[in-house]
Amino acid sequence: EAGVTQFPSHSVIEKGQTVTLRCDPISGHDNLYWYRRVMGKEIKFLLHFVKESKQDESGMPNNRFLAERTGGTYSTLKVQPAELEDSGVYFCASSRQGEWNTEAFFGQGTRLTVV
């Protein structure tokens, strides 16, 4: 069974540009989450999808961030325009629906550097 995969693994962009991160969850996992770790800080929750619906996006830092999950399958996280403070590692995770404490499986992360 394939795990959670994220693309790209690394991205270096200039301030003001747009970047789109992609996450492919484990097949059959209704829950999909985005987390972010800014340099020197804890990993922080960004948002949560249940299938194609946004369940909670309270962790999204501002309106420069837009997440979508087309058809309840893969998800994208777009940053437009990117700022220096957006640099960090973006993690995606997925889990089965139903059990609130079920294991979340994480991808390897996308390291975003804004210069």
Partner 1 sequence: AQSVTQLDSHVSVSEGTPVLLRCNYSSSYSPSLFWYVQHPNKGLQLLLKYTSAATLVKGINGFEAEFKKSETSFHLTKPSAHMSDAAEYFCVVSTSSNDYKLSFGAGTTVTVRA
- Closer to partner 1 by CB, 1 or 41: give it: 41
Query: CB of 48: closest distance to partner 1 in angstroms?
Result: 5
Output the smallest distance, CB 73 to partner 1, in A. Answer: 19
- Whether 86 and 37 have beta carbons less than 8 Å apart is answered as no
Instruction: Measure Cα distances from 22 to 40, 54, 72, 78, 106 in Å.
Output: 24, 16, 13, 9, 13
Q: How far is the CB of 6 from partner 1 (least distance, A)?
A: 8
Kindly report whether the peptide bond that precedes residue 61 is cis, defined as omega within 30 degrees of 0.
no
Name the site residues for partner 1 (rule: CB under 8 A).
3-4, 31, 33, 35, 41-45, 48, 55-56, 59, 91, 93, 100-101, 103-109
User: Please, which residue, 22 or 44, has the CB nearer to partner 1?
Assistant: 44
- In this structure, what token pair is assigned to residue 89? 């590692």
